Structure 1
Amino acid sequence: MSFIFRAYHAMARQRGMSTKTGLPTAATYVFVNMLRKLRDDFSPEYLAAVFDVAAPTFRDQQAGQITTVRRFDLKTQTFQEIEYRGYKANRSEMPGDLAQQLPYIRRALEAYRIPILELGGYEADDVIGTLAKKAAAQSYLVYVVSSDKDMLQLVNDRVLVLNPPKDNLICDAAKVEEILGVPPERVVDVMALRGDSIDNIPGAPGIGEKGSVELIKRFGTVEAALDRAAEVERRTYRESLQNNREAVVISKKLATIDCDVPIGLDVNAMKAGEPDIQALRALFTELEFTSLLKDLLPVVEVAEGDYREAKSAADIEAELSALPPGGVLAVAVDSEAQPQSKLEDEAEEAEEEMLPLSTTVTAPEPARCIAISAAAGKALTILAEGDGAASRLRDALSDEKLPKAIHDFKAAIHSLAEQRGIELRNVQHDPMLYSYLLDPTYSSHRLPDVALRRFSLKLSGNVAESADVTGRLASTLRREVEECGLLKVYHDIDLPLVPVLARMEEAGVNIDRKALSAMSSRLEHEVEIKAREIYQHAGCEFNINSPRQLGDVLFNKLNLPKPVKYGKGKTISTAVDVLEVLAATHEVPRLVL
C-alpha cells in the first residue's frame, strides 16, 4: 500500500489526471509506471503485491493498553501528559479520489499476473516479513520493495530492501547502518525511542533521531537503555526514559514486524508470467492511458497500403480523379525535421498532467514532401519543390472547389503557406480539432496518438500513411462530432479560428523592451528587500528558493511544527499549503509566500 500512496502523492501537487467522465487516474498511472519499471529493471522471477486489510489488527489491541502519553514541550522544557488516541489515530481517512482508483490498481496487478496477498488482523508489513522469512529459509534471495524505513528491520544475509524512488537503492546490512546509524537488528529499538507521529507510536518524548541512535549504540537495546536510564547524562533523555517506560516498551512492540503470521508461502503462485495484453489494453483504454497503450502494440503498417511516389502531373490527375462524388482529399505534410516537442514528451510522461493545446512556433520547418489520399488504403507522395507534379499539387491545394482534410491545419499553414507559398483552401476537416472536441481531457491530439486511440494503430511515420489515416479519421470523427451535436462549434468557432491563430503566431507580439527592463529592475529590487526582511526574521541568510534550506530554517532553526508530508528526496515539504498553515504563526513563511 505504501507504493500506492507514493504514487498518489507523486501527482498530488500537479494538475490532476482524469478520464473524460471525471474518473481520477493519476495514482493508477504512476503506480503502473512504477510497476513496469520494476519489472523492466530487475526481471524478477517471483513477484507478489501485499495489501492492507481495512480492519483492526493485533497492534490496535496492543496500543489499547496505553491511555495517556507524555509530550516534551521545547518552549517550557517540560513533559506534558496528553490522551493517547490509539495506533495510527493520526492518519486521516484515505482520500476519496484515491479510494476510487484502488479497484483499477488491483486490475492492473491482475493483468500483469501479479498475485495480491492480504490477511485480516495483520498489516501488509507483517505478511511481507513472514513471507520473506519463509522464502529466505528456503534459500531464496528476497528483495522487499519498499521506501519505508520500518522495513529495514527485516534485512539480513538473505533479505534485502529495494527502494526504487532512491534510484533502485538496495539496502543490505551495511547500507542500513549507514542510513540509520544502527544495524538491522537494532532498527526497532531506535524506532521505539523516536516513535512515529504518522502511526501514532508514542516513543520516548524528547528523544529524536540523533538521540535514539546515540542511546542504542551505547546501551545496545531499548530495554537496556530503560534499565540504565540513571546513567544518561542529558537530563531530558534521562527523565524521558525514566518516566515513559511502559510507552517505550509498547512502542517497540508496535514497531516490530511480526514475521510469524499464519500465511503460507506458495512460491509457484508468485512466479512472474507474461502480462495479459488484452486485459491491459482494456484497462488502459478505459483509463485513457494513450502512452501506455502504445507499448502494447507492435509496429503496424496500415494494412498493405497502395502508397506510391508521383513522377509527373499525370499521376496527380489520376489521384484526384479517383475522388468519389462528395469525397474529400486527405493531405499530410512531411517537414524537414519534425521532432516531437519537449512539451509533448512531458505530456506523454504525465499523461493528463497538461494539455499542450499548441506548440511553440519558432521558425517552422518548410514542407519537404506532401502526400495526398483520395481513398482509404491509397496515397501519393510528391516532393514539394520542383515543377510538374509539384506545380499541379500546388494548384490542387489552392483549389477552392476541392474539399480537403488535414491533421493540424495550423501547423500545415506554417509549413506550406508561409514557407512554400502554398495557400491551403477549402480545408473542411481537421481530425485534430475533431479529436479535441470529442476528448478534451487527452494530453495529446497528434496524429499517431489519435490513430492509436481510434484504430489501435501504431504509425510508422510514413507521410503517405499519414495522409491515408487522416482521411479515415476525418470521416470517422466527423460522424461522432455530428452525433454529439458539436458541428456548430466546429464550423463556427474552431475551424475559422485556425487561420487567425496562424496569422497571430506569424506576426508575434510587439514587446517594449525598455519597459520590460525597467519592470525587471524594479522587481529585482523588491525581491532583494523582501529577502533581507526574511533574513532578519530568520536570523540568518539562506537560499530562499531551496526547499531543503528553507525547511532547515523553518523546522530546525525556528522549530516550527513539521508537517507529516514530505517533498522530493524525503525533504520535509515546504509546499504552498504547508507554508500557508505556518504563516499564521510566524513571519518568515508569511513573507516567503
Structure 2
Amino acid sequence: MPHLYLVDGSGYIFRAYHRLPPLTNVHGEPVGAVYGYTTMLWKLTEQLHKEDGPTHMAVILDKSSQTFRNDLYDQYKANRPPPPEDLVPQFPMIRDATRAFSLPCIEEEGWEADDLIASYTKAAMAQGWSVTIVSSDKDLMQLMTDPSVDMLDTMNNRRLGPEDTRAKFGVGPEKLGEVLALMGDSVDNVPGVPGIGPKRASDLINEYGTVEAVLAAAPDMKKSKMRDNLIEHAEMARLSRQLVELASDVPLPDPLEEFELQGIPEPPLRAFLEHHGFKSLLGRLSAVADAPVAEDAPDAPVQAEDPPCDHDAYETVTDETALERWIIAARHQGWVAVDTETSALDAMQADLVGISMALHPNLACYIPVAHGGSDMFAEKPQQLDRDYVVRTLKPLLEDPAVLKIGHNLKYDLTVLSRYGIDVAPYDDTIVMSFDLDAGKHGHGMDELAATHLSHSCIAFKDVVGTGKKALGFHEVDLKAATRYAAEDADVTLRLWRRFKPRLQYEEATRVYEMVDRPLVAVIARMEREGVKVDAEALSRLSGDFAQRMAGYEAEIHELAGSKFTIGSPKQLGDVLFEQMGIKGGRKGKSGVYSTDVNELERIAADKDQPKGAEIARLVLDWRQLSKLKSTYTDALQAQINPETGRVHTSYSLTGAQTGRLSSTDPNLQNIPIRTETGRQIRDAFVAEPGNVILSADYSQIELRLAAHIADVPQLREAFERGDDIHNMTAEELFGEVTRDTRGRAKTINFAILYGISRWGLAGRLDVTPDEAQAMIDRYFERFPGINRYIAETLTFAKEHGYTRTLFGRKTHFPRLASKNQNERAGSERAAINAPIQGTCADIIKRAMARMGPALADAGLPNVRMLLQVHDELVFELPEGELEAAKPVIERVMASAAEPALTLSVPLGVEIGTGPSWGAAH
C-alpha cells in the first residue's frame, strides 16, 4: 500500500535554524539552518524501504506570507517578526537541499503549506493511501481524523495520533479546529475569545460541540466575564474558526504519482554537499571523508552507521548483580563511556546522584545512587547505596587496562575525585572535537550530536523543568533519568567512535596526545586546588572602588550640568550628543546613540570638545572600576567555597579558538595586567600561612616564536644575546631609543603579529593612516621574514581553510571567504596570529602537563600549581621549598617544547615570589 510522507518544510526550517548555532560554509555563507535541515531530511530518507516507511514523499513549503486568510483578516500573522537576517539567504539553499535529495519541493502562491498538506492528505486518502505528516504543528493535528493518517515528530522521534490530540487539547482531531478558534493563537494573531484558554475551550466544545453552538448558548449562560466575552466577541470567534480551518481543496500543483521514491541518487546530493563543504555528511554518503591532507595520507576511516538512539533499550541498574555484569563487560571490552549526574553545576560542591555507562550504541545504563525527594521522609526509589557503587566502580575507573571515555571529562574527574576515585586512562570527546574542528563550530554535546550523528539530545530542561517548579535531578523519576543520563554516555561513545579514527587521518594525533589530553587531569587538579583570597581585602577594595566611582560621578554630573544615570547608554548618549551637541553620534536600530568604548575613545581624543572629552575619559574610568567591582571585588567574595575557603576557577580547553585556556567563575584572564588597580586585585590572591606565591611568566614568548617561525635573524640573534627587543626595534625603525620610540616599537612589535591594519595602528599610536603605513613598511623592510610569514600564512589559510601551529594544531577560519569585508578582514588578522599564539598555548600546556611529575621527582610534592593566566603559571608552596622549586619550574617551562620541537631561540622565564599574587610580579 502506498505510504505518503508530507514534510512540513517551513516547520523543519525554523526547527533546524534554532537547533544549531550559527554556522558558515566554505564560501563564508550562513548555513546553520541548511545543515540542520539537510541532516533532518537525511534521517527521514533512511526510513525508505523499511517497514511502514514512505513509498512517496514531498516537502511542502510556504511560498509567500500573503494568503486568503489575510483577505479575511488583515491582522493575520501581523505580529510575526521577520525571519532572522542570517536565515533569509538560506531559504534558496534549503530548496537546493530538497532537490539534492531528488525530492519534490511543493509551494503555491496564495496558499500556506498547511493548506497544501491538507489537500494532498485528502487526495491520498481518497486513493486509499496511508499518510504521515512530518510535523508537530498543532494546526495539522486536525487532519488525523482517519486511521490512515498520523504525524511524525522527528525532534522527539515519536509518532502522533488522535490520542495525542485528545491528551493535549481535550478533544479529538475532528473537534480541534473548534477549540483552536475559541482559544486563539498569539503566534498567528488569531484573535479567538479573550480569557478563554485551551482548558476552557475544550470544556465548552465537549459540552456544546461547535463554536456556533457555544455562541448560541452564550446568552443563557450564568453571568460571568466569559459569557460577556463570548457575546461581545462572537464575530471574532466566527472569524477565528475560518482562519484555523485548513483548506483541503487546493488544486494540486503536482500529481501524487510524481512523489514516488526511487531511492536517493548520489550525484546531485554529493554535488550539493561538496559545494557547501559538509564533510561529515559527505563521509556518510560514501563512507569516505574529504580529500586527504597529504598525498601519502592513509585512506579515510570508514565508520559504519550507528542505529538511532533507542532510549527504551537503556537499563536502570538497581541491584548488585546487574552492576557486576556491567563491570565485567567493560573490563572484557577494554573501554567504556562514562558520565556523572550531580546535584549542581559546580563540580567542587556537587553531590553524586548517579553514573551512566555505555559499551556500544544503545547498550547503555544508568546507576542511580541518590534519587528521591529532598525531605528526609520522602519516599526513595529502589537504588544501590552510593558508597557501595563508588567502592565497586573504583577499581574499574582506575584500571589502567580499561579506557574511560567522557565528554568534558574534567567535570567528572573533579566530582569523582571527591569520592576518592582517580580516573585513568581516559579519552575526552570534547577535546577530540576541538583538536579536529576548532573554528568550525562549538563542541558541546548537543551540537556535536546534531552535527555528527544527526541526533537531537534530550534537553535537560525537558527532564527537570524550568523556573520555580524545576526539580533537582535527584527528584527526577528513574525512567526519565535513565533515558537522559544513559543517552549522554551513549552519544559520547558514538562521538568517540567517529573522532578516534579521524585523529590520525587528519593529523591531529600529535596535538591531542602530546598537548591537550594530558592536560584534562592537570587542570581538573588545579581547579580542585583553588586559590585563597583575602575576603577582607576585597571588601576594602570594593569600598574604595565605590568611593572612586562616586567621585567620578560627581565630576561627570558637574561637567554635564545635570544628574543622570551613567550606566545607562541611552541617558549618556542623550547628554553627549543632544544636550552637549557633540558631533558624529551614531544611533543603532533601537534609536539609542552608541556609547561603546570605541565611541567614547573617539570623543576623549576630540580636542575641539574639551568638556565632552573629559566626560568621556571619566566615563571610561568609571566603567572600568564598575566592571572590576562587580566582576572581581564583589563577586570573588561570593565565590569563596565554604568547605575549602578558596576560590576555584573553571578552565576550558575549548574556550579559545587558538588553543589557549580560558577561565570562568571567575574569569582570571581579564584582570588588568599593568595597572595599579589590577595589582590591587591580585594582592587579594594570597598564600596560606607558611606558604608563598610563585609566579613564573614566559618573557615575550610570542615575539620569540615569531623569530623562529618567520625565520628573522635579527630577532633570533637579539634574543640569544639577551637584548631588549623593543629597544632594538625602536633603533631599527626610528633611529633612536627614547621612552616614546620604545613604546611605539613595543606596540608595533605585537600589533603586526596580530595582522593589524594601517587604520588600526594609526588609532593605537595616534598618527595618521599614512604615517602608520610608513611604519609598517619600514618594519617589513627591516624584518622581511615577518612580511613573508604573513603572506605565506594567509595563502595557506585561504587555500586550506585553516592554519597550523608547530605542534600541528589546526584552527579553521570558515569566514576567510566571506563576502562581508569586515568578517573577512577579521578572519585574516586572526589567521596571521593563530600559528604563533597557538604554539604559545601548546608550549605552556606541555609545561603544565610535565610540571607535576618533575616536582615529584625533585621531592617537591607540596608545590601546587594553582593558576594559568596567559603566559604565566602561578604556584603556592612552603617557604622552605622556594629555592629548590625555582630551578625545577624554570627548567620545565624553558624546555617545554622539547624533544618534539627544537626552537632556534631560547624561551625566557621570569620568576617572582611574594605573599600574594600581586607581590610576586
- TM-score in terms of structure 2 length: 0.36
Which one of 866, 887, 894 corresponds to residue 511 of structure 1?
866
Note if contact 2:438-2:811 (Cα within 8 Å) is conserved in structure 1. Answer: no
1:290 to partner: Cα distance: 2.2
Residue 132 of structure 2 aligns to a residue whose secondary structure is strand
Instruction: Work out the CA distance in 1 between the residues paired with 2:24 and 2:802.
Output: 11
C-alpha distance 489-203 of structure 1, shift in aligned 2 (>3 A):
closer
C-alpha distance 304-18 of structure 1, shift in aligned 2 (>3 A):
closer
**Given the alignment of the two structures, is residue 36 of structure 1 paired with residue 46 of structure 2, yes or no?**
no
Which one of 346, 349, 353 corresponds to residue 441 of structure 2?
353
1:502 to partner: Cα distance: 1.7
Question: Quick check: 485-494 or 503-512, which moved more?
Answer: 485-494
1:22 to partner: Cα distance: 3.5
Instruction: Work out the CA distance in 2 between the residues paired with 1:500 and 1:219.
Output: 75
Instruction: Work out the CA distance in 2 between the residues paired with 1:199 and 1:46.
Output: 30
Which one of 81, 98, 110 corresponds to residue 92 of structure 1?
81
**Given the alignment of the two structures, is residue 27 of structure 1 paired with residue 114 of structure 2, yes or no?**
no
Instruction: Work out the CA distance in 2 between the residues paired with 1:448 and 1:41.
Output: 37
1:36 to partner: Cα distance: 1.6
Partner of 1:2: 11
Note if contact 2:165-2:172 (Cα within 8 Å) is conserved in structure 1. Answer: yes
C-alpha distance 209-97 of structure 1, shift in aligned 2 (>3 A):
same
Note if contact 2:809-2:838 (Cα within 8 Å) is conserved in structure 1. Answer: no
Partner of 1:233: 222
C-alpha distance 61-276 of structure 1, shift in aligned 2 (>3 A):
same
Partner of 2:90: 101
Instruction: Work out the CA distance in 2 between the residues paired with 1:206 and 1:245.
Output: 13
Q: What does 1:406-445 correspond to in 2, within 5 Å?
A: 407-411=508-512, 413=514, 438-440=800-802
C-alpha distance 127-34 of structure 1, shift in aligned 2 (>3 A):
same
Instruction: Work out the CA distance in 1 between the residues paired with 2:89 and 2:509.
Output: 36
Residue 142 of structure 1 aligns to a residue whose secondary structure is strand
Note if contact 1:131-1:264 (Cα within 8 Å) is conserved in structure 2. Answer: no
Question: Quick check: 270-279 or 246-255, which moved more?
Answer: 270-279
Instruction: Work out the CA distance in 1 between the residues paired with 2:269 and 2:130.
Output: 30
**Given the alignment of the two structures, is residue 18 of structure 1 paired with residue 33 of structure 2, yes or no?**
no
Partner of 2:285: 296
Instruction: Work out the CA distance in 1 between the residues paired with 2:838 and 2:808.
Output: 17
Residue 19 of structure 1 aligns to a residue whose secondary structure is coil
Instruction: Work out the CA distance in 2 between the residues paired with 1:441 and 1:191.
Output: 55
C-alpha distance 224-407 of structure 1, shift in aligned 2 (>3 A):
closer
Instruction: Work out the CA distance in 2 between the residues paired with 1:441 and 1:88.
Output: 47
**Given the alignment of the two structures, is residue 342 of structure 1 paired with residue 443 of structure 2, yes or no?**
no
Note if contact 1:48-1:115 (Cα within 8 Å) is conserved in structure 2. Answer: yes
**Alignment deviations for residues 195-230 of structure 1 (CA, whole Å, 9 cap, x no partner):** 011111101111111110110011011100000112
Residue 151 of structure 2 aligns to a residue whose secondary structure is strand
1:38 to partner: Cα distance: 1.9
Question: Aligned AA for 2:152?
Answer: L
**Given the alignment of the two structures, is residue 169 of structure 1 paired with residue 159 of structure 2, yes or no?**
yes
Instruction: Work out the CA distance in 2 between the residues paired with 1:503 and 1:143.
Output: 59
**Alignment deviations for residues 510-536 of structure 1 (CA, whole Å, 9 cap, x no partner):** 239xxxxxxxxxxxxxxxxxxxxxxxx
Instruction: Work out the CA distance in 2 between the residues paired with 1:410 and 1:346.
Output: 12
**Given the alignment of the two structures, is residue 248 of structure 1 paired with residue 237 of structure 2, yes or no?**
yes
**Given the alignment of the two structures, is residue 129 of structure 1 paired with residue 135 of structure 2, yes or no?**
no
Question: Aligned AA for 1:502?
Answer: R
1:174 to partner: Cα distance: 2.9
C-alpha distance 436-503 of structure 1, shift in aligned 2 (>3 A):
farther
**Given the alignment of the two structures, is residue 115 of structure 1 paired with residue 104 of structure 2, yes or no?**
yes
Note if contact 1:290-1:351 (Cα within 8 Å) is conserved in structure 2. Answer: no
Q: Which runs of 5+ in 2 are unaligned?
A: 1-9, 299-400, 406-426, 445-503, 520-707, 711-793, 813-827, 853-863, 868-921
1:406 to partner: Cα distance: 6.5
Note if contact 1:31-1:105 (Cα within 8 Å) is conserved in structure 2. Answer: yes
1:268 to partner: Cα distance: 2.5
1:111 to partner: Cα distance: 0.8
Question: Aligned AA for 1:5?
Answer: F
C-alpha distance 20-336 of structure 1, shift in aligned 2 (>3 A):
farther
Instruction: Work out the CA distance in 2 between the residues paired with 1:59 and 1:211.
Output: 26
Q: What does 1:100-499 correspond to in 2, within 5 Å?
A: 100-157=89-146, 158-171=148-161, 173-233=162-222, 235-263=224-252, 266-299=255-288, 341-343=428-430, 352-354=440-442, 407-411=508-512, 413=514, 438-440=800-802, 494-495=838-839, 498-499=842-843
Question: Aligned AA for 1:501?
Answer: K
Q: CA RMSD in A?
A: 4.5
Partner of 1:69: none
**Alignment deviations for residues 390-446 of structure 1 (CA, whole Å, 9 cap, x no partner):** xxxxxxxxxxxxxxx96554345469999xxxxxxxx999xxx9779953599xx99
1:185 to partner: Cα distance: 1.1
Note if contact 1:17-1:351 (Cα within 8 Å) is conserved in structure 2. Answer: no
Residue 31 of structure 1 aligns to a residue whose secondary structure is helix
C-alpha distance 407-235 of structure 1, shift in aligned 2 (>3 A):
closer
1:143 to partner: Cα distance: 0.7
Note if contact 1:144-1:161 (Cα within 8 Å) is conserved in structure 2. Answer: yes
Instruction: Work out the CA distance in 1 between the residues paired with 2:508 and 2:428.
Output: 17
The alignment covers a number of residue pairs equal to 369
Question: Aligned AA for 2:159?
Answer: L
Residue 24 of structure 2 aligns to a residue whose secondary structure is coil
Note if contact 2:802-2:810 (Cα within 8 Å) is conserved in structure 1. Answer: no
1:137 to partner: Cα distance: 0.5
Instruction: Work out the CA distance in 2 between the residues paired with 1:191 and 1:486.
Output: 53
C-alpha distance 493-55 of structure 1, shift in aligned 2 (>3 A):
closer
Question: Aligned AA for 1:145?
Answer: V
**Alignment deviations for residues 275-305 of structure 1 (CA, whole Å, 9 cap, x no partner):** 3433333322333322212101235899998
Instruction: Work out the CA distance in 2 between the residues paired with 1:170 and 1:93.
Output: 30
Note if contact 2:108-2:253 (Cα within 8 Å) is conserved in structure 1. Answer: no
C-alpha distance 351-60 of structure 1, shift in aligned 2 (>3 A):
farther
Residue 250 of structure 2 aligns to a residue whose secondary structure is coil
1:188 to partner: Cα distance: 0.6
**Alignment deviations for residues 231-287 of structure 1 (CA, whole Å, 9 cap, x no partner):** 333612111111111111010000000000122562231112333433333322333
Which one of 39, 52, 58 corresponds to residue 68 of structure 2?
58
**Alignment deviations for residues 467-509 of structure 1 (CA, whole Å, 9 cap, x no partner):** xxxxxxxxxxxxxxxxx99998577554565344322333377
Q: Which runs of 5+ in 1 are unaligned?
A: 65-85, 308-334, 357-372, 374-404, 419-426, 451-483, 513-593
Residue 283 of structure 1 aligns to a residue whose secondary structure is helix
Note if contact 2:803-2:811 (Cα within 8 Å) is conserved in structure 1. Answer: no
Note if contact 2:107-2:113 (Cα within 8 Å) is conserved in structure 1. Answer: yes
1:2 to partner: Cα distance: 1.4
Partner of 1:523: none
Question: Aligned AA for 2:125?
Answer: A
Instruction: Work out the CA distance in 2 between the residues paired with 1:139 and 1:257.
Output: 21
C-alpha distance 219-446 of structure 1, shift in aligned 2 (>3 A):
farther
Larger RCO: 1 or 2 (CA < 8 Å, sep 6+): 1
Residue 47 of structure 1 aligns to a residue whose secondary structure is strand
Instruction: Work out the CA distance in 2 between the residues paired with 1:119 and 1:196.
Output: 24
**Alignment deviations for residues 523-557 of structure 1 (CA, whole Å, 9 cap, x no partner):** xxxxxxxxxxxxxxxxxxxxxxxxxxxxxxxxxxx
Question: Aligned AA for 1:503?
Answer: A
Note if contact 1:18-1:441 (Cα within 8 Å) is conserved in structure 2. Answer: no
Instruction: Work out the CA distance in 2 between the residues paired with 1:254 and 1:415.
Output: 58
Residue 133 of structure 2 aligns to a residue whose secondary structure is strand
Note if contact 2:131-2:150 (Cα within 8 Å) is conserved in structure 1. Answer: yes
Partner of 1:401: none
- TM-score in terms of structure 1 length: 0.54
